[in-house]
Amino acid sequence: MPDFNNLTWIYEWVYQFVFQLTLAITAPLTSTSDIYWAYLLSALVLGVGVTYRRRTLASKEHTESFQSIGFWRSFQSKYLSKKLWGHPSALLDMRYYVVNAIVFPLLFAPLALQSQTVDHFLKVWFEKIIQITPANILTSGSFEDIATKLVYTLVFFVAYDGGRFIAHSLLHDVKWLWEFHKIHHSAQVLTPFTTFRVHPVDLMVMVSVPALTTGIVTWLFHVTVSPEIGFYTLLNLHVFICLFNFIDNIRHWNVWVTYPAPLNKWFISPAHHQLHHSADPKHWGCNRGFELAIWDHLYKTAITPSVLEQDVKFGLGDGDDLSWRTIGQLYINPFKNLLIRGFTSTKQSY
Ligand SMILES: [Zn+2]
Ligand SMILES: [Zn+2]
């Protein structure tokens, strides 16, 4: 409860407001942001390269002469046009990105679970409460060993990716959570800003579940290998997460990019995620993974996209897309729908 006699809390909120707004605006200069300039540039270069190669191959098959001037014009009109980037859904994504960059850190982030918290809780619980201190079964100080650090880097990534799959599946399969995840799927066009079209409740789940899985893994390595062990990083991020970031902006764009076989079956390509956004009921709830496709294969939700470009219409597919047109609707609609429809009888669209 704020102390109304002492107004320093107002200055604190104003400071936080300006600070979070500055972070949101300068995100393209921050390497830990999904829209860091290098990740956006790599997505553009890859998108151009893949589309150029596809058109060259197509023109060879039809023995037509390939004209690169025509290519640039058609690339621009399909993937960089005002029709796409100025679409009401894309503009809403950009406005919501700025607003939620302030709302989420101030009101919701302090409630989200963190990997370090889980690690610390397990450590205290085992040592203080049931008084068990698992012995370092590997050689102590072996964190400096490259192989051990590599194993931790890999295991942490698998736990993180698996945690994100579980969180995303909960958002699709638990009906009241689906009401909050619908915001993300109500986007009618995809741009990298659609990544941020996520309700704070959705984001809490997406942050907390991977924090639990990576926290358990980290605790296990801390007690069995070394409390000092860390993973390999690149640009201040986990090295694998950073490497995938160079591709991941295409998943929220309409350029069709798949991985070459057999990788396309075992990794989630941008096209996998575009199918996840399809309004067609036959695609609803497919490809919930982020980088590894193994989880979707195990959960029977995998649909491997064809290498040939597919024309996918994005949206909820339940005729309800137009009730998600304002920032207020993105925040309030889930609560309104739950009040109207109840916690168990939401309109099905997943
Ligand atoms: Zn989803
Ligand atoms: Zn998405």
Task: Return the ligand number nearest the Cα of 251.
Answer: 2
Q: What is the pLDDT of residue 343?
A: 66
93 CA distance to ligand 1 centroid (A)? 16
What amino acid is encoded at 232 in this protein? Y
Cis peptide before 262 (omega within 30 of 0): yes
Alpha-carbon radius of gyration of the chain: 22
348 CA distance to ligand 1 centroid (A)? 13
**CA of residue 49 relative to chain centroid, distance:** 24
Chain length of the chain: 350
Percent of the chain with pLDDT over 90: 66
pLDDT (tens digit, 9 = 90+) per residue, 13-59? 899 899 999 999 999 999 999 999 999 999 999 999 999 998 888 77
In this prediction, residue 264 has a pLDDT band, given cuts at 50, 70 and 90, of very high
Secondary structure E strands in the chain: 233-234, 237-238
Mean pLDDT across 94-99? 96
Residue in 224, 15, 57 with CA at minimum distance from that of residue 132: 224
pLDDT at 119 over 90: no
What amino acid is encoded at 346 in this protein? T
Q: Roughly how many angstroms between the first and final C-alpha of the chain, as a whole number?
A: 40
Q: What is the pLDDT of residue 137?
A: 46
Half-sphere exposure (Cβ direction) of 287: Cα atoms closer than 13 Å: 23
pLDDT (tens digit, 9 = 90+) per residue, 172-199? 999 999 999 999 999 999 999 999 999 9
Task: Return the ligand number nearest the Cα of 164.
Answer: 1
Mean pLDDT across 260-269? 94
Task: Return the ligand number nearest the Cα of 181.
Answer: 1
Q: How would DSSP label each residue in 231-281?
A: --EETTEEHHHHHHHHHHGGGGSS----PPTTHHHHB--HHHHHHHTB-SG
Residue in 6, 3, 346 with CA at minimum distance from that of residue 176: 346
314 CA distance to ligand 2 centroid (A)? 10
271 CA distance to ligand 2 centroid (A)? 11
Mean pLDDT across 63-70? 68
pLDDT at 274 over 80: yes
Domain ranges of the chain: 85-341
3-state SS, residue 343: coil
In this prediction, residue 293 has a pLDDT band, given cuts at 50, 70 and 90, of very high
pLDDT at 311 over 80: yes
Between 123 and 220, where is the model more confident?
Answer: 220
Is the Cβ–Cβ distance between 252 and 97 less than 8 Å? no
316 CA distance to ligand 2 centroid (A)? 12
321 CA distance to ligand 1 centroid (A)? 15
Q: What is the pLDDT of residue 347?
A: 44
Q: What is the pLDDT of residue 91?
A: 98
Task: Return the ligand number nearest the Cα of 178.
Answer: 1
Is the Cβ–Cβ distance between 268 and 259 less than 8 Å? no
Query: Which pair of structure tokens corresponds to residue 210?
Result: 């991977």
Q: What is the pLDDT of residue 134?
A: 54
- d(CA 199, CA 207) in angstroms, rounded, equals 12
Range with the lowest mean pLDDT among 65-69, 213-217, 254-258, 282-286? 65-69
Q: What is the pLDDT of residue 243?
A: 97
Task: Return the ligand number nearest the Cα of 252.
Answer: 2
Task: Return the ligand number nearest the Cα of 171.
Answer: 1
Q: What is the pLDDT of residue 169?
A: 97
**CA of residue 61 relative to chain centroid, distance:** 37
112 CA distance to ligand 2 centroid (A)? 21
Task: Return the ligand number nearest the Cα of 287.
Answer: 1
137 CA distance to ligand 1 centroid (A)? 40
Task: Return the ligand number nearest the Cα of 168.
Answer: 1
3-state SS, residue 175: helix
**238 - beta bridge partners?**
233
pTM of the predicted model, to two decimals?
Answer: 0.88
Q: What is the pLDDT of residue 6?
A: 72
The pLDDT mean for the chain works out to: 88
